Structure 1
């Protein structure tokens, strides 16, 4: 496995990313996983979740790209300027870049989103036909309601009054919150035409685990018959903060991906 830092220009900012390649990627095109982090998150993730995920998946034969949205991690910008609309545009810039890399099989691009990144992943997959598999980890289902619940009533009032609120050292803007009302991933995902897996933490303290069932129902309402699966990780919190939870999260995701004929390693769930 090899990894290298990559910078991608989007929305007048440089986004900091890391590309992980499996052994042998120089001799054949491999499936690509793009990881999307969540609210006030980064490409590292809490307890290095996305670093561990990237290494795990690359060892299984996948290329993995993880990156910081603008205003997050090591990318340019400030969180006070973040909106989901801008993040959707940044995902497009990332996909445009990684889909033409010589090591990448452009016909096997997988999007994995955690938390708010799950909502962004769903909204992206609904419109971008390059996404052939979608995996949601404890996804936000109702962006405005879910983020408002995380922030709390007092912080929401502060944002409305002052234009921003300081949340754990990040300025969250009223513009960000208003923009959330424009995005409805549970409805949009019905336009996605490929297979999907939803994995939710059973004891999620931030995002209702009921969203997994809501996404499942929305995907089942599509006229196409692509596979949809859901799985709950018993005892897990929102960020899957133990090695046991991480292993189940990664292994279930890999087993599901491996069950499709596009990947050389066929593994049934």
Structure 2
């Protein structure tokens, strides 16, 4: 199938159940991916949900995969999402509402868009991308450097001479410097009342999107992933995030051993089950 979007054609596919429910799922692609997803994750998820009676659509943004147009970032795909939902709801007349499912920066794109479209009733957000220089520096210091000393592989490399301690110290210094410098600059930006959207830090814009969204949300995070660690550190250190998540009654699941894309079958299946069960719960 193909979808008209601002003079370009978007290409995608719909998985239709034989006896569909009134709620469908739009899988949004994150990063340099196309509609199949890493290790065919989106294909398998769509088939799983379709077997549960849930119609699923997945597609390529402009400039990605088979779609026409110029490539764009996750911050500029609102028109693509709108065009996709228009097509999805017209092709599947039985749909009353749509849930957006997104991994990494696709989750961020979903938060930017969802509150603007009343047809969107829910969000499934996996390892949301909240990247800032300060945030990733903190995640590295807390979750990478602090645990590396307890890893046998680290000591084997050190003893064998394959590890460069000087380079590591320089990297650590840059991380610490970045953490404190960016902390000050972010505070200054946050005080600007007339700051444009792109001047405001990404986490603040995402929080605003969640605060404006009146639907339900499910968050799934990985235990072996710096992107997830950065997001979890953010919400654990921010009262505004904590209040909003509690107020919106956001459902959380954490898969401790999983990597960023949930690449193993057991992790992928857990994600599919969590998604399906959550969709049927309301």
TM-score grouping bracket, smaller chain normalisation: 0.7 to 0.9
How far the C-alpha of 1:112 sits from its partner, in A, is 0.6
Structure 2 equivalent of residue 21 of structure 1: 16
- Given that residues 220 and 228 in structure 1 are in contact (C-alpha distance below 8 angstroms), is that contact kept between their aligned partners in structure 2? no
Structure 1 equivalent of residue 117 of structure 2: 128
Structure 1 equivalent of residue 217 of structure 2: 196
TM-score, structure 2 normalization: 0.69
How far the C-alpha of 1:229 sits from its partner, in A, is 1.0
Query: Is residue 12 from structure 1 mapped to residue 7 from structure 2 by the alignment?
Result: yes
Query: Is residue 40 from structure 1 mapped to residue 61 from structure 2 by the alignment?
Result: no
Query: Is residue 96 from structure 1 mapped to residue 116 from structure 2 by the alignment?
Result: no
Query: Is residue 253 from structure 1 mapped to residue 275 from structure 2 by the alignment?
Result: yes
Q: Unpaired runs of 5+ in structure 2?
A: 140-170, 172-196
Between Structure 1 and Structure 2, the one with more helix by share is 2
How far the C-alpha of 1:228 sits from its partner, in A, is 1.1
3-state SS of paired residue (2:259)? coil
- For 1:223 and 1:20, how far apart are their aligned partners in 2? 31
> Which residue of 92, 97, 100 maps to 1:111?
100
Structure 1 equivalent of residue 164 of structure 2: none
Structure 2 equivalent of residue 230 of structure 1: 252
Structure 1 equivalent of residue 228 of structure 2: 208
How far the C-alpha of 1:220 sits from its partner, in A, is 5.4
Label 1:224 to 1:215 Cα distance change in 2 as closer, same or farther (>3 A).
closer
Between Structure 1 and Structure 2, the one with more strand by share is 1
> Which residue of 61, 76, 83 maps to 2:73?
83
Label 1:31 to 1:85 Cα distance change in 2 as closer, same or farther (>3 A).
same
- Given that residues 228 and 260 in structure 2 are in contact (C-alpha distance below 8 angstroms), is that contact kept between their aligned partners in structure 1? no
Structure 1 equivalent of residue 128 of structure 2: 139
Q: What is the 5 A alignment of 1:142-153?
A: 142=131
Q: Which has the larger radius of gyration?
A: 2
Work out the number of aligned pairs and report it. 221
- Given that residues 130 and 230 in structure 2 are in contact (C-alpha distance below 8 angstroms), is that contact kept between their aligned partners in structure 1? no
- For 2:17 and 2:134, how far apart are their aligned partners in 1? 39
Query: What is the Cα-based RMSD across aligned positions, in Å?
Result: 3.0
- Given that residues 186 and 214 in structure 1 are in contact (C-alpha distance below 8 angstroms), is that contact kept between their aligned partners in structure 2? no
- Given that residues 30 and 61 in structure 1 are in contact (C-alpha distance below 8 angstroms), is that contact kept between their aligned partners in structure 2? no
How far the C-alpha of 1:74 sits from its partner, in A, is 1.1
Structure 2 equivalent of residue 221 of structure 1: 243
- Given that residues 190 and 218 in structure 1 are in contact (C-alpha distance below 8 angstroms), is that contact kept between their aligned partners in structure 2? no
Structure 1 residues 139-192: Cα deviation after superposition (integer angstroms, max 9, x where no partner): 11247888999xxx9xxxxxxxxxxxxxxxxxxxxxxxxx96565213321111
Structure 1 residues 56-115: Cα deviation after superposition (integer angstroms, max 9, x where no partner): 111111000000111111111343xx1334311110111122123344322x31111111
3-state SS of paired residue (1:94)? helix
Label 1:77 to 1:198 Cα distance change in 2 as closer, same or farther (>3 A).
same
Label 1:219 to 1:31 Cα distance change in 2 as closer, same or farther (>3 A).
farther
